[in-house]
Structure 1
Amino acid sequence: MTRTLSSIDFAPILPVWLLAILAVLALLALGLALLRRARGAWWRALAFALVLGALANPRLVEESRETRPDIALLLVDRSDSARLGPRAAQIEAARVALEARAARLPELELRTATAEEGGNRGTRLNAALERALAEIPRARLAGVIALTDGQAHDIPAEPGLDAPFHVLLPGRPGEVDRRLRVIEAPGFGIVGRSVELRVAVEDLGAPSGSNGAVRLSIRRDGGAPRVESVPLGREHRISVPIERGGNTVVEVAAEERPGEVSTLNNRAVVTVHAVRDRLRVLLVSGEPHAGERTWRRLLKADPNVDLVHFTILRPPEKDDLTPLNELALIAFPVRELFQQKLRDFDLIVFDRFSNRGILPPQYLRNIAEYVRNGGALLMSAGPEFSGPASLAATALGQVLPARPLPGAGAVAEGPFRARVSEAGQRHPVTEGLPGANPAPPAGAVAAPDAQPSWGRWYRHLRADPRGGTVAMEADGAPLLLLDRVGEGRVALLLSDHIWLWARGHDGGGPQAELLRRIAHWLMREPELEEEDLTAAVADGTLTVTRRSVDAAPAPEITVTAPDGTVSRHAPRVAGGGRSVVELPATAAGVWQASDGRRTAFAAAAAPNPAEIADLRADPGPVQPLLRASGGGVRWMGTGEQPLLPDLRRVAAGRDAQGGGTGGGAGPSGAAPGWIGLRRNEDHTVTGLSALPLLPPWLALVLVLGTAVIAWRREGA
């Protein structure tokens, strides 16, 4: 819009200070004439005034202005808390209505910006405001209207906004929200012990002094819930036993409070990674041999292993009349190890041990029962395994996965390369071993001539497998067998030449890695379970991994979301005995996956913890902006149509709000007062013209005329 303004301006011909001196001299001359009561004094005064006026050069100035419309900013909160319940629809309806009202106001342009969440840092309302204001000239900013629930997490204590900032909140004041706050949760625990969680249940917005007890439901790995009564607003400690290695998922939920905003923050999910304490291993070497120290070095290299090692240096049938008190520095504590403290060991290792009467049959039965009840046994066999003193011929043979072949052909002498079997390529103990024979692509059959690149061995035992999984082979015969017996596990290595890998013979091999995997599988490390189903949530994606040595196609995976929604998915083959299902995990809570036999749980934490910490609509967090700008707060009510204040244009320095109480509409249903948008009157000058009011020729005529009249009057 173009406007023309007129005004009187002065453009002095002489400097102002010189005009002031001339004015003083004129006043002195005029004062002397007035004291003498000269007859032409007033004409002299008029002449002086005309001279000074001509020197001041008065002009009539006409200015043409192009006015520019003011800009108001409508800031719309799109965070999760602003979309709870009817808030999203109410905010959207308010946006449409305000844009229509602003379009009817003259010389006002309304721009709309969106405030999103900032990762896990809550709602970044001020950041969105600054980005939008960077594109608006401050001289044209009329004000900001924010449609938000007030839960902003980046408002500075002293904002630099110099225009009115108004907040329109969905709902009504006085909302109450119950939340469960995790004060402390350990990330790690020790198997066989308990961890302690510290939590508190709080009612935000409740009247001060309100107390009482709240029921708290505690569920571990999707099991039956345990209910405890906890005091409201006070810290409570929860003890959770850790019974197995790997991840333990703990879900804690507080009962719903009547009338609260949402139950979204009434529960929390904690994942505790369980590890084993120091492991106790019993290593019994039947006789000295070249590979004996291989086992000792391997087990002593792990600082988390307490090793008890005995070596039988002399068989009892050898009699050379040596006194008994000189046979050993300490007596072999057979009864203490294999009867009294047998169950204290996590793993028993027999290295080339033969039954020569050292262990009575009762103790061998104790070891077999120890395995069935959850113990772990690793046996490295040599030629003694095929002899008459073989442990396979004792009660311990009932838990071994293979029996030696009869006859002299049980011991095979000659070079060979240990080869991972087809089942071993799917077993986590031998899958992906460095230097192993190449694994076939997913769904393909292993090539029979695929050879490993590691070094050769020179002796192995031929045996008849009775159970378990043949993970490695020697010339087509079983070499490494892994079996589950009752609640325990057994590993049988039918060769005593693995120590050649440790010495680097013929290129060496992954001796330490293989034995580490065998030992960890025996002690039930979760990452080495060959028949397992695991679930994990990372970056908003649920990944379910099924592992099996069975080559049959994997069954469908049933996934149960935290809200109870059930879906079924066909897994994709990932190689190494694994099949995987991936899907978005947007809901916080415990996700459950099942393949029909096993069940896995995964914890999905809230993607934005700060966003759900307080779900009430509350102007408190944006108060610094309101105080600095003089803006106001209005509630839009709980109806389908939001109750909006009127929009008014106000001059700079005037109040930017009025009417209403900020609490919603009155009895008549009228909008709650009004909010003001500043009128800046910003403009651009497009034209300028100046007309002299006392041009020189006119000034000369008037000055000479008045001077002549004054002279004639004084001379008369």
Structure 2
Amino acid sequence: MTQTILFDPLVPWVVIWVLTAITLLSIVAALWRGLSGWALRALSALVLLAALSGPVYQVEDRAPLSDIVLVVTDETASNQLSDRATQLADAKQELTEHLTDRPNTETRWISLADGEGDTGSQLMTAISEALAEEPRARIAGIIALSDGQVHDVQDAPALPAPLHLLMTGKETDWDRRLIVRNAPGFAIIGEPVTLTLRIEDQGAAPENTPLAPLEISIDGEPPQRFTLPIGTDIDLPLTLPHGGRNVIQFTVPEEAGELTARNNTALVQINGVRDRLRVLLVSGEPHPGSRTWRNLLKSDSAVDLVHFTILRPPEKQDGVPVDELSLIAFPTRELFLEKIDDFDLIIFDRYQRRGILPAIYLDNVADYVAKGGAVLVAAGPDFATADSIYRSPLSTVLPARPTARVIELPYQPSVTDLGQRHPVTADLGDVSTWGRWLRQIEIDQPQGHVVMSGLEDRPLLVLNRVGEGRVALLGSDHAWLWSRGYEGGGPQLELLRRLAHWMMKEPELEEEALWAEATGQRMRILRRTLDDTIGPVTITQPDGATVELTLAERVPGLWETSFEGPEIGLYRLSEGNQSAVIGLGPAAPREFEETMATADVLQPVIKPTRGGLLRLQDGVPVLRNIRAGRPAAGRGWIGLTPRDAYETLSVVQSQLMPPWLVLLLASFFITVAWMREGRR
């Protein structure tokens, strides 16, 4: 039961204070003039002013409320190292007993797990969410059982009570970690990219260990071993071995006594790209298709194109002296003997033998293919003649031979069943909407993959591998009709782009491939193949355990499944003769970047609340009650602030000066004053 006098003024307080001032001035004037009734009139004015202020007598029936103590238990990965989990469990049990013995106290236990997406320990966020659900006036204290490694200190809320950190870990703890800096997402194949490595010891590390071994493995291959100084930044030049994704794993062997080996390994995934793709386009004679090839290759900024068109063959005799011609002589020796290996792709567009390229040069082109080069032949009527490029040493690498027949009939190109599965011709759109071509060079005895067919299902586009290289034969010179929109056109640019990039060995156009795409700890596994069936994919996890998964065919030639990785690290995939590697999780998990227990991170939050920073290694501190604003921690103890909060059950109000009493008193004093003044 609480009794209080309140004021509920009938007019604004400004009016009451103005009337009070006027009353005081009137009393002073009466005293100065020596009036006899000033005291009685002052009493009547006082009664009226008191009535205007509205005094109310209030009686409250209150029920006391208990204090609330928030206890946050840090169960993130870094707080499970060594014996910290045991320290946490023991402290939680003992703290429960202390809080139970404290009268009028409720405890809110908050479990803090690892943040999603490698966000680390979100301690301040957990406290903010807990405060939002509790009356701040009842919070007596906040206790955090943690290693102090918090990653959201910048989001700390205004705390209504002292914050105490009971820190896990030991003063003798130490850890070694590997740091990789300056890791780009892309790098040029064949050119070194510089990564900065640092091996760092933290805590009470053993002395006399100035060097540490380092292992570097690319795509799961046997590692290379080096020795690096500890505590020094080392610039490591690294050259990517292939295009596409390169998974690079850096590992420092675990030392006896360190907290964890999880931060001794770093995974870096870098996509290898070509700096410039050099293409040599040799056109046998001017024709509408030449511009199509030129526009396609020039539109790609990553392609360096060297284009030669034979405008004046040697057999042409028009009487014009050679020294008066403004044509550039064809540098055959330089291109086909000295610099042929500098090109990634050679395209023969309607080229025929005219004595410009001797047999030895074409034989060199065949060797270039066998060693890893690429040759594309876009055939025209010349391919069916006696001067065909097939009647040369190139016949050993070309995927089909001409029959000497040129078909001059309209037909609609189509994709074969095999072509529906091949990345060069898959998903090119609705074939029925394609425009017709008007000429096809008949070829037979195809070797490799026939991915497109023409009139009466004759082979139109044949792809093959020869040695380390690739060759392609397009049996028509009318692809340019699509670019002109003839009968609706067709996917000419996309087809020729894919064809050129397949020949230049772009990873995304490999017909036999196994790869995975990671999102957090989940990987999407894809297998492209020309076969009708595939076997299960075997996944080798970082700990050596294996899992087999069955894939489902999503579209012709592309199989897919998904897998949730149980831990961060390098995963190896294999199916048949295909293999791949992928890293799940961040290159360096945030929870393991800093593993040493510390109070420095939370010090800016704890200091304003006058809370405490104590090690659980020294035991769980006792609890004391302290007044708000006083130091809340000392040697072996932490303080909680009693809040004395209450709940109002009922309120009863009554007027101290009812109207009849005001009227009676005012009238009495005024009447007495009048009578006294009247006698005088």
TM tier, smaller: 0.7 to 0.9
CA 1:654/1:500 → structure 2, altered by over 3 Å: closer, same or farther? closer
1: CA distance between counterparts of 2:631 and 2:88?
A: 26
Deviation at 1:303, TM superposition (A): 2.4
CA 1:683/1:543 → structure 2, altered by over 3 Å: closer, same or farther? closer
Match of residue 143 from structure 1 = 141
Match of residue 568 from structure 2 = 588
Deviation at 1:652, TM superposition (A): 4.4
Deviation at 1:134, TM superposition (A): 2.4
Alignment of 1:203-602 (within 5 A): 203-206=201-204, 212-320=210-318, 322-326=320-324, 329-405=327-403, 410-436=405-431, 452-474=432-454, 475-551=456-532, 553-602=533-582
1:390-438 Cα deviation digits (max 9, x unpaired):
12222101101101125xxx222211100001011111110011333xx
1:147-169 Cα deviation digits (max 9, x unpaired):
21211122259963342322222
Match of residue 43 from structure 1 = none
Contact 2:573 2:579 in 1 (8 A): yes
Answering whether residue 123 of structure 2 is matched by residue 125 of structure 1, we say: yes
1:349-391 Cα deviation digits (max 9, x unpaired):
1011112322211111101000000001010111221221112
Structure 1: runs of 5+ lacking an equivalent: 8-16, 22-60, 437-451, 660-672, 691-716
Contact 2:280 2:347 in 1 (8 A): yes
CA 1:62/1:246 → structure 2, altered by over 3 Å: closer, same or farther? closer
Query: Scaled by the length of structure 2, what TM-score is found?
Result: 0.82
1:281-315 Cα deviation digits (max 9, x unpaired):
11111122232222122222222222222222344
Match of residue 664 from structure 1 = none
Of residues 215-224 and 254-263 in structure 1, the stretch that sits farther from structure 2 once superposed is 254-263
CA 1:538/1:454 → structure 2, altered by over 3 Å: closer, same or farther? same
2: CA distance between counterparts of 1:345 and 1:386?
A: 27
Of residues 575-584 and 319-328 in structure 1, the stretch that sits farther from structure 2 once superposed is 319-328
Match of residue 604 from structure 1 = 584
2: CA distance between counterparts of 1:274 and 1:62?
A: 80
Contact 1:424 1:471 in 2 (8 A): yes
Match of residue 49 from structure 2 = none
Size of the aligned set, in residue pairs, is 604
**Matched residue of 2:408: which SS?**
strand
2: CA distance between counterparts of 1:196 and 1:608?
A: 18
2: CA distance between counterparts of 1:688 and 1:524?
A: 85
Q: 1:172 aligns with which of 156, 170, 173?
A: 170
CA 1:689/1:243 → structure 2, altered by over 3 Å: closer, same or farther? closer
Contact 1:158 1:628 in 2 (8 A): no
Deviation at 1:5, TM superposition (A): 8.7
2: CA distance between counterparts of 1:681 and 1:305?
A: 78
Answering whether residue 620 of structure 2 is matched by residue 644 of structure 1, we say: yes
**What one-letter code is carried by the residue in structure 2 that aligns with 1:128?**
A
Deviation at 1:330, TM superposition (A): 2.2
Match of residue 31 from structure 2 = none
1: CA distance between counterparts of 2:619 and 2:447?
A: 76
Match of residue 704 from structure 1 = none
2: CA distance between counterparts of 1:118 and 1:534?
A: 25
2: CA distance between counterparts of 1:515 and 1:159?
A: 60
Match of residue 614 from structure 2 = 634
**Matched residue of 2:482: which SS?**
helix
2: CA distance between counterparts of 1:250 and 1:607?
A: 10
Contact 1:593 1:599 in 2 (8 A): yes
Contact 1:159 1:628 in 2 (8 A): no
2: CA distance between counterparts of 1:688 and 1:570?
A: 72
Match of residue 442 from structure 1 = none
Match of residue 115 from structure 1 = 112
2: CA distance between counterparts of 1:188 and 1:655?
A: 55
Deviation at 1:498, TM superposition (A): 0.7
Contact 2:125 2:155 in 1 (8 A): no
Answering whether residue 604 of structure 2 is matched by residue 624 of structure 1, we say: yes
Deviation at 1:461, TM superposition (A): 1.6
Of residues 530-539 and 476-485 in structure 1, the stretch that sits farther from structure 2 once superposed is 530-539
1: CA distance between counterparts of 2:299 and 2:3?
A: 97
**Matched residue of 1:252: which SS?**
strand
1:309-335 Cα deviation digits (max 9, x unpaired):
222234434445554445662222221
CA 1:242/1:156 → structure 2, altered by over 3 Å: closer, same or farther? closer
Contact 1:149 1:616 in 2 (8 A): yes
2: CA distance between counterparts of 1:200 and 1:607?
A: 14
**What one-letter code is carried by the residue in structure 2 that aligns with 1:114?**
S
CA 1:318/1:164 → structure 2, altered by over 3 Å: closer, same or farther? closer
Q: Percent identity?
A: 44
CA 1:652/1:339 → structure 2, altered by over 3 Å: closer, same or farther? closer
Answering whether residue 103 of structure 2 is matched by residue 106 of structure 1, we say: yes
Contact 2:174 2:205 in 1 (8 A): no
Q: 2:92 aligns with which of 95, 100, 103?
A: 95
CA 1:512/1:686 → structure 2, altered by over 3 Å: closer, same or farther? closer
Contact 1:120 1:607 in 2 (8 A): no
CA 1:578/1:75 → structure 2, altered by over 3 Å: closer, same or farther? same
1:34-75 Cα deviation digits (max 9, x unpaired):
xxxxxxxxxxxxxxxxxxxxxxxxxxx999753221111111
1: CA distance between counterparts of 2:116 and 2:209?
A: 35
Contact 1:536 1:603 in 2 (8 A): no
Contact 1:490 1:522 in 2 (8 A): yes
2: CA distance between counterparts of 1:183 and 1:281?
A: 36
1:166-198 Cα deviation digits (max 9, x unpaired):
222233234212221222112211112121111
Contact 2:128 2:157 in 1 (8 A): no
Answering whether residue 644 of structure 2 is matched by residue 681 of structure 1, we say: yes
CA 1:233/1:190 → structure 2, altered by over 3 Å: closer, same or farther? same
Answering whether residue 160 of structure 2 is matched by residue 184 of structure 1, we say: no
**Matched residue of 1:378: which SS?**
strand
CA 1:391/1:118 → structure 2, altered by over 3 Å: closer, same or farther? closer
Deviation at 1:591, TM superposition (A): 1.7
1:424-479 Cα deviation digits (max 9, x unpaired):
1111110011333xxxxxxxxxxxxxxx2110001112211331111100121110
**Matched residue of 1:587: which SS?**
coil
The structure that has the greater radius of gyration is 1
2: CA distance between counterparts of 1:338 and 1:607?
A: 46
Q: CA RMSD in A?
A: 3.1
2: CA distance between counterparts of 1:486 and 1:77?
A: 59
Contact 1:73 1:111 in 2 (8 A): yes
1:570-605 Cα deviation digits (max 9, x unpaired):
112121311123101342222211113122111224
